[in-house]
Amino acid sequence: MQFSIDNAKIWVPGANGMVGSALLRRLKKENVEVLATTRNDLDLRDTNEVNLFYKNARPDLVILAAAKVGGIHANNTYPADFIGDNLQIQNNVIVRAKKHGVKKLLFLGSSCSYPKNCSQPIKEEYLLNGPLEPTNEWYAIAKIAGIKLCQAYRKQYECDFISAMPTNLYGPMDSFHPEDSHVPAALLSRFHDACKKEQKSVTVWGTGKPLREFLHVDDLADACVFLLKNYSDAPALNIGTGEDISIGDFAKLIKTTVGFSGDIEFDTSRPDGTFRKRLDVSKIHALGWRHRIDLESGLKLYYQWYLEGMMK
Ligand code: GFB
């Protein structure tokens, strides 16, 4: 049976992040009231602030996408922030959601929470059946704790708290920090700069051999709304395209997207991370959702957004 979100007050913390802002765009199509907060309005790590927010704003539904996020280098360099901040954020938002009578909550995990050497494609039931990738185990453990917290509240208090496991994302409002960003943002800006400066080559981290699955954030936002309406169970559901590409080929695709004509070089002193983490998306497909934006068109949209930002 469908869960109705009609006339609901939906809280989207982290509303100016990549996922949060995509959720705001998507929720405009629904008959809902959106409570959007950013890190400047509300520090989600602060229990009192979160409590006060719930008390005053009284949201019916929550989509918890706000998190301390970053690419392989950031995860590896700031382990305390990745585990500590994320545990605080999700504990505050999830535990208080029950106290303040939230009717449904969706928590976003991450495909990096699956064991490093999983069979492929990765099924939901592979969670916790092996060791994690060391570069992101801190973040992964926080995300696993968030999923378990939702499951525990479901089991003990029958709260309708669900979770999802998105694959690697890209899209508007991505972070373009040269060291700390994820690979799509890092390469888009590096190839763009190389074009402008007429460089002979662009450096890509690692061997280029690992495989990644990339989903446009607007597809993720659509899946989140779909799950709020159509999913009510304990397992964290995979959200992705079910297709992956090597980092080397991904770099070539970005090179074509921005029109760079030089060479690609690999810096093998940089870590590769997990070799492969392709999600099995058959469960969400069976429920009736699939992604709409293929990688090539998604990267064009992404670059268009990037160029528009440059002109502002
Ligand atoms: O996007 P990324 O940092 O995330 O890296 P992960 C993906 C792959 O791209 C790795 C390679 O094999 C990198 O070595 N890569 C090549 C680059 N060039 C670059 C570059 O310039 N910058 C970056 N960042 N990578 C993250 C987790 O892992 O996945 C997070 O650490 C999160 O916690 C995210 O879960 C979805 O896929 O390796």
pLDDT tens track for 146-181: 999 999 999 999 999 999 999 999 999 999 999 999
Does residue 248 sit within a domain? Answer: no
Does residue 143 sit within a domain? Answer: yes
Q: How confident is the model at residue 11 (pLDDT cuts 50, 70, 90)?
A: very high
23 Cα: distance to centroid of ligand 1 (angstroms): 23
The predicted model gives 60-77 an average pLDDT of 98
206 Cα: distance to centroid of ligand 1 (angstroms): 10
Task: Report which ligand 1 atom has the smallest distance to the Cα of 187.
Answer: 21
What proportion of the chain, given as a percentage, has pLDDT over 70? Answer: 100
Does residue 141 sit within a domain? Answer: yes
pTM over 0.95: yes
Does residue 177 sit within a domain? Answer: no
Q: Tell me what the pLDDT averaged over the chain comes to.
A: 97
Q: How confident is the model at residue 20 (pLDDT cuts 50, 70, 90)?
A: very high
pLDDT at 47 over 80: yes
pLDDT at 1 over 90: no
103 Cα: distance to centroid of ligand 1 (angstroms): 35
Residue-level pLDDT at 126: 98
Does residue 64 sit within a domain? Answer: yes
Instruction: Report the catalytic residues.
Output: 139
The predicted model gives 259-264 an average pLDDT of 97
Atom 14, ligand 1: residue with shortest CA distance: 272
- Strands 237-239 and 201-205, sheet pairing: unpaired
Atom 11, ligand 1: residue with shortest CA distance: 205
Q: How confident is the model at residue 113 (pLDDT cuts 50, 70, 90)?
A: very high
How far apart CA 297 and CA 295 sit, in angstroms, is 6
Q: Are 31 and 7 in contact (CB under 8 A)?
A: yes
Overall domain count for the chain: 1
Residue-level pLDDT at 215: 98
What proportion of the chain, given as a percentage, has pLDDT over 90? Answer: 98
pLDDT at 91 over 90: yes
Residue-level pLDDT at 228: 98
Does residue 189 sit within a domain? Answer: no
Atom 13, ligand 1: residue with shortest CA distance: 272
311 Cα: distance to centroid of ligand 1 (angstroms): 28
Residues with CB under 6 A from ligand 1: 71-73, 75, 110, 112, 135-136, 139, 168, 181-183, 186-187, 204-206, 210, 212, 247, 270-273
Distances (CA, A) of 171 to 122, 154, 233, 238, 246: 24, 32, 29, 19, 19
Atom 17, ligand 1: residue with shortest CA distance: 183
Does residue 147 sit within a domain? Answer: yes
Atom 25, ligand 1: residue with shortest CA distance: 183
Domain range for 107 is 9-170+214-241+278-293
SS (H, E, C) the chain: CCCCCCCCEEEEECCCCHHHHHHHHHHCCCCCEEEEECCCCCCCCCHHHHHHHHHHHCCCEEEECCCCCCCHHHHHHCHHHHHHHHHHHHHHHHHHHHHCCCCEEEEECCHHHCCCCCCCCECHHHCCCCCCCHHHHHHHHHHHHHHHHHHHHHHHHCCCEEEEEECEEECCCCCCCCCCCCHHHHHHHHHHHHHHCCCCEEEEECCCCCEECEEEHHHHHHHHHHHHHHCCCCCCEEECCCCCEEHHHHHHHHHHHHCCCCEEEEECCCCCCCCCCCECCHHHHHHCCCCCCCHHHHHHHHHHHHHHHHHC
Instruction: List the CATH number of the domain containing 220.
Output: 3.40.50.720
Q: Which of 19, 72, 250 to mutate to test the pocket of ligand 1 (most atoms within 8 A of CB)?
A: 72
Q: What is the pLDDT of residues 224-256, one digit of tens each?
A: 999 999 999 999 999 999 999 999 999 999 999
155 Cα: distance to centroid of ligand 1 (angstroms): 35
Atom 22, ligand 1: residue with shortest CA distance: 183
Task: Report which ligand 1 atom has the smallest distance to the Cα of 82.
Answer: 33
Structure tokens at 37: 């907060």
267 Cα: distance to centroid of ligand 1 (angstroms): 14
Does residue 90 sit within a domain? Answer: yes
